[in-house]
Chains A and B, each alone.
Chain A
Amino acid sequence: MLQNKSFVKRTRGGKITKVVREHYLRHDIYCGAPICKVCDTSQARLSPTPSTILIFDTNVVLNQIDLLENPAIDDVVVLSIVLEEVKNRNLSVYNRVRALCSNSLRKFFVFSNEHHKDTYVTEMSGESKNDRNDRAIRVAAQWYQSHLAGSARILLITNDKENKRKAIEEGISAETVESYVRSLSRPDLLDLLVQPASEDVNMEEVEDLRPSKRKIIYTEHKPMSEITSGLHRGIYHQGKLRVNRYNPFEAYVGSESIGDEIIIYGRTNMNRAFDGDIVAVELLPQDQWHEEKSLALADEEDEEEDVHLVPGSADDAPWTTAQPPGSAGVTESISSRPSGRVVGIIKRNWHSYCGSLEPMAMPAGSGGVAHALFASKDRRIPKIRIHTRQLENLLDKRIVVAVDSWDRLSRYPSGHYVRTIGQIGDRDTETEVVLIENDINTRPFSSQVLACLPPLPWSVSSEDLANSIRQDLRQLRVFSVDPPGCKDIDDALQCTSLPNGNYEVGVHIADVTNFVHSDTPLDDEASQRGTSVYLVERRIDMLPKPLTEDVCSLRADVERLAFSVIWEMTPEAEIISTRYTKSVIKSCAALSYIEAQARMDDSRLMDPLTTDLRNMNALAKIMRERRIQRGALTLASAEVKFQIDTETHDPLDIGMYQIREANQMVEEFMLAANVSVAEKILKHFPLCSLLRRHPTPTREMLEPLLRTAAAVGLNLDVSSSKALADSLDSAVADDPYFNKLIRILATRCMTQAVYFSSGDLSPPEYLHYGLAAPLYTHFTSPIRRYADVIVHRLLAASLGIQKLPAIFQDGTRLTSIADNLNYRHRNAQMASRASVELHTLIFFRKRPTDTEARIVRIRSNGFFVFVPKYGIEGPVYLTPRGDKEGGEWFVDEQQQKIRKMDGSMSYSVLQTVFIHLEIVEPQPNRPKLQLTLV
């Protein structure tokens, strides 16, 4: 049946046009209930004997999505008109509903009422669009009622009074969300409910009791029309708000219109914006630009610095390091950075947050509704006010909370409880928090994904051997060197002496793309996950376990498929020729770094494997030397290693991760393979290669390093990576740890390397600063990084052995893949750091320790120390907290010193101090690591 839909639309040019679209009504849209005798039930998703079938209206879906996600709500018919409206209003809710509808464990069925011949309604004259849609929902509900005729109860859930009244008049049973949830008699579900707008009145009543808080706290957001015109006229600037990870009262808005970042100080200026919101900002007059600078570190409430791991790069480091607080000498230098205030929010980035409730006394009448403040684990998020009926259960739990609204009268946004993760401080709970915070998918692989795996047990077949693209390298002496206990071995090495005195050096990488084909569910999943995540006690794989640990892993003494890069090298490590091929190898040994090192060091061993190792090591040393000559930086990091109790999984000991020659040897060949592959793929695909670049740090970013260095009388030349590398080399003092310390400080001034598609940038920007390589990519770990999978496909295509998948022709797709990889990569790093932090906390719980530490940063009321032994960094307060104007201590900015007024004591940067590490619990259930001077 054909129906024309016509409506009037305003075009981008501002003209009004009438649009007519065809709208086909169908007979073959089924109800989705398996009990139905008329419909085709092959696609049915509802349960066989549903007691009640729920139909939600648009506003309920939009507001109560957390309730819908709870497994208690099932047998839901989602109408297409509702989906459409939700999609227009809030895309993230739409995606969540879609996820529910496609989740095979839930019984959500999408009924395309808009295309069903009996449920399509035409707009009546004088009827608004909303009324028409409400009527469509009612018609659909009625249709279901008569269609299933008594075999199931149809319940329309709507919070709209008018809609409910009309529904009941038309003989449809309808209820509000609240009364429905009450009828389920599950008090925990009630917490999931978003309080409807009428609750605002209640809220004010509550605040009325505290007259001081009754005042308007935030300025009103400007209406959208005003924002649009303001943006147009250049008064306002649009951008994404990013809150400083280390100081939640300071935020940045990267604005394209003024080409700089606008700083926003304080919650009042942030005006209820959250991290990640797209906001409109108005610049403050220039004389106010540095006004609130000292406030930037002063805390409005009780926010505090925590002990944390040493940042790995500038991206994780506190921004405030660039602007030392306190002294007046620096204020002028930063006044050039514009500051502003938020006038409106263009797009909210609200989602759910992990954290815990602020400790509070139990209200007298237990069991009733209590108001509580929720503090997110992510410090960038303000506290959130929630209502709960289960306060006593939640106080010592980690919970997930979603934000609903933030009105002008309230200091905090209001939200609702979503779910409980577990006990605070429990290792599993905290690990889960880390994973949720970093948006890491830990769900088991779906059956569609697992269906893409090769039949197990898998072994190299005769077809693989007969394949002309695959070279048989099984006779070669190939071995792998990895950390002890490594199961996902993705690289193996080989070094053969040639008769002419040269070496044939091979890097063999697991041939993952032989199993992960593009455009399969497996590939999509891997591309979404982006990388494997390594936590202290567990690993979250990018590919299903059989692939990760068996089929792809280049284990010893089994035949495996590989993608090989083979060079002919002179004994001086000059590459004469490079060859790329798919191959079959059989690794003869899977060594750990320690074993490999021991073999090389043991002069009695003369077996061929050890000789190979020594030859490779000699080559690697030359290559490394040459790379450093070119200006590659040797940066140090303070990685720590835990010894984990095999039974309880509690950490037994921590220590710095030791880097051996064997590590460097493997790293060197991996770098060389990556560079060779990058050259090859870029030559064939100049516009769609996936490369990795490391931007040159700006002078500004290196500022903290230079200041520290100057304070200890060291002059660093940062004009180029080569100059920096040289001056880092010459930075030696009597103190053996000094050089490493300077390198660690240098590392945190660097930005992170990122993936990009070569079509997006110009060749000079491809540079990898840290490695001093004009081109670089990732090729050597396809089991645990998706970038390498893409590069494998590119390389295979450049060799002409496989066709290039279609997505490479789509520049925007490729860019979005690269962006996702960067995001996942960064999150994975953050998660592993957080996991280490968590284990450090567990470790010190039972072991208060005294140890040596180095001062890395001076603050007005103390200093930050770095504890080399445990790789952590944290504040040591000289004056008690809260006592800002102690006045006893005085900071010398030039020399980076903090002195007691009477001159009796002074501390300077990089000085060694002895500190005491202990876990304290200032508030119940909130353990934290405290550092005090001994």
Chain B
Amino acid sequence: MSFMQINDLKVHYPVRGGFFNTVIDQVLAVDGITMEFERGKAYGLVGESGCGKSTTGKALIGLEKITSGSIIYEGENVTNKRRNRKSSFNRDVQMIFQDAHSSLNPRKRVRDIIAEPIRNFLNLTPKEEERKISELLEIVGMPEDAKLKYPHEFSGGQKQRLGIARAIATNPKLIIADEPVSALDLSVQAQVLNFMKDIQNEFGLSYLFISHDLGVVKHMCDHISIMYKGRFVETGTKADIYTNPQHIYTKRLLSAIPEVSPVGRENRKRERIRVEQNYQAEHKNYFDENERVFDLLQVSNTHYVASTSQVKGVL
């Protein structure tokens, strides 16, 4: 059973202008998405820049005001609730940020950075706190003496691991990871991804993995949603998306990913051009006249695609 449901989540930004600075338009950053989270699963949110994937993550954790829709956490409605130290939602949902460097306070020591969620949510004596911090540093594979250092003394991969240590300090159920490895080099990226998988297996964590990198998402996630202009165009299991993509936008995205093999690259280029032509030709079947993505239709048990009902017969 899912422990958290999101229903028809919308985040709209007002655009002000004209006389008296009135609201003249809305930016529909997130425009009606529905999701469910189950324990121990990883969910991927993929899209190009500006599609609203990061806004979704921020809205979930409460850094962005939700315009309409609801977040139900273990039967309790937590939409737009003020942050509260007693709330189990705020303790159980944590975030890992893209830029590890700017997410760590440069004037605090590592000990105080990691202790912050502990001091906020857990009632521990100083001794217990100290032990907990050592434990967390051990989990992320950092030496004990890191405690007294400052963030600038660490490399990019180490900083990202500190960010992870902070996120898992309160034994959360869901971690929202917003592009956690995009700023890292390949070998360091591998290190962080391996590590995220390890702690997932160990603690039964769920992830919401926000990324533009389909290779990384495929490696990490069980369930993937493709986002475009604030809406889901396609959602399904990893196999649904990668072996049986239905929406033209998904197909276009998949065909654009460079493959790590020079064999057959001319064919791939021709295929890309074909998909692109198809995308232009079938555009009206998948987007309405305002470029808005249609509502999701069910294709199979797990697989949903946004299209008009006319196309459904073709699928």
Co-assembled chains A and B = no
- Chain B positions near chain A (C-beta within 8 angstroms): none
- Chain A positions near chain B (C-beta within 8 angstroms): none
